[in-house]
Amino acid sequence: MMSIGLTEYLVVAAVLFGAGIFTMITKRNAIGILIGVELVLNSANVNLVAFDRYLERCRIDGQILALVVIVLAAAEAAIAVGICINLYKNLATVDVDTAAKLRG
């Protein structure tokens, strides 16, 4: 049976990271992009916690940061949703490609 070690967690985190980036690039829906952001943030969290769990040199700090990140993600989401609503009010859509008036 395959034992689950640090490597596996890191791979998961890397996949999450990649998936998040991919989502951000491809999604046209603002909320979708925010989900991508969350994926990336959480890939970082997975890493942090995994390191704390598996590595000697890492102590409690990683988990503290993970908590901070969760809080930050929440705050960010709050602001982000507000902005999305604002966008919707102005453009009647949350398709980010529509919001391309400012350019050049």
Partner 1 sequence: MTSHTYEILLALGVLSPFVSFWILVFFGPRLGKPTAGWVGVALGMGVPLVLATVVLIGWRGEVASGNAAELTANAFRYEWAMLGTVPATVGVKLDSLTVGMFFMVTFIAFWIFVFSVGYMAGHSDEVGGKSKYHRFFAYLSLFGFSMLGLVVSSSLLFLFIFWELVGLCSYLLIGFYFDKGFASAAAIKAFITNRVGDFGFLIGLMLVYFQLGTLDLDVAAQRFAEQYAAGTGIFASHFTLFGWSLATIMGIGLFCGAMGKSAQFPLHVWLPDAMAGPTPVSALIHAATMVAAGVYLVARVFRLMTPEALMFIALIGCLTLTLMALIAIVQVDIKKCLAYSTLSQLGYMIFGMGCGAWIAALFHLITHAFFKAMLFLGSGQVIEGCHHEQDMRKMGGLRKKMPYTCWTFFIGVLAIAGTGIPAIGIGLGGYFSKDEILAVAYTRSYEWGKDDFHKHVPGEGGGHGAVEPADGGQAMLASYQDHGQAHGDDHAPAGGAQGIFENTPALPKWMFWLAIITAYVTPFYMMRCWWMTFMGKPRDKHVYEHAHESRLMFIPLVVLAVGTFVSSYFLFRPLFADAAPAATDAAMVMAIDGTADTEAVHHAHSFLIGGVGFAFAVGFAIAFLIYRNGLDLAERIRRVLAPLHTLLVHKYYFDEVYDLVWVKGCILVAKIARLIDTYVVDFLFDLAAFVTERLAAFSGLILDNQGVDGMVNGVAKTTMDVSDVARSGQTGRIRNYVLFSTAMATVVMLVLFWWAMQAGNFMTATSAPPVG
Partner 2 sequence: MNALAQANPWSAVPIGEHLFLFSPLIVLLCTMLAIVTCPIILGRGTRPVLAIASLGVIVAMIFAVQVAGEVPYGGTSGFSPGQDAGMLIADSLSSGFQIILLIFMSGVMWLWWIGSSESERNAPEFFILLLGSALGMLLMVSTTNVLMIVAGFELASLPSYALVGFDKRDRAGAEASLKYMIFGAVCAAVMLYGISLIYGIVGSFSFPVIAAYIQENLIFSGDRLVLIIALACFMVGIAFKIAAVPCHFWCPDAFEGAKVEVTTWLSVASKAAGLLLLARLVMLLCSAVPHDKVMFVLRALAWGIGIMAAVTCTVGNWCAYKQTSVKRLLAYSSIAHAGYMMMAAAVFIHPGVAGHQAGLTALLVYVIIYLFMNLGAFGVTAMVVWETGNDRIESFTGLMRRAPWLAVPMVICLMSLVGLPPLAGFLGKWWILLALGSFEVVHGGSQWYSFKTLGWSLVIITVLNTLLSLYYYMRVVVRMTLHDDGQPVVRASIRGLMLVNACAALLLVMFFLAGPLKEIAGRCAEGLYNPGAALSPATQPVATVGGEIE
Q: Is 7 in the site for partner 2 (CB under 8 A)?
A: no
Which member of 15, 76, 93, 97 binds partner 2 (CB under 8 A)? 76
Under rule CB under 8 A, residue 24 binds partner 1: yes
Rounded to the nearest whole angstrom, what is the least distance from the CB of residue 55 to partner 2 in the complex? 7
17-25, 56-64, 71-79, 83-91 -> range binding partner 1 (CB under 8 A): 17-25
Sequence-separated contacts (24+) of 4-13 with Cβ below 8 Å: 5/54, 6/50, 6/51, 6/53, 6/54, 6/55, 9/46, 9/47, 9/50, 9/54, 10/47, 10/50, 12/43, 12/46, 13/43, 13/44, 13/46, 13/47, 13/50
Residues contributing to the site for partner 1 (CB under 8 A) = 21, 24-28, 33, 96-97, 99-104
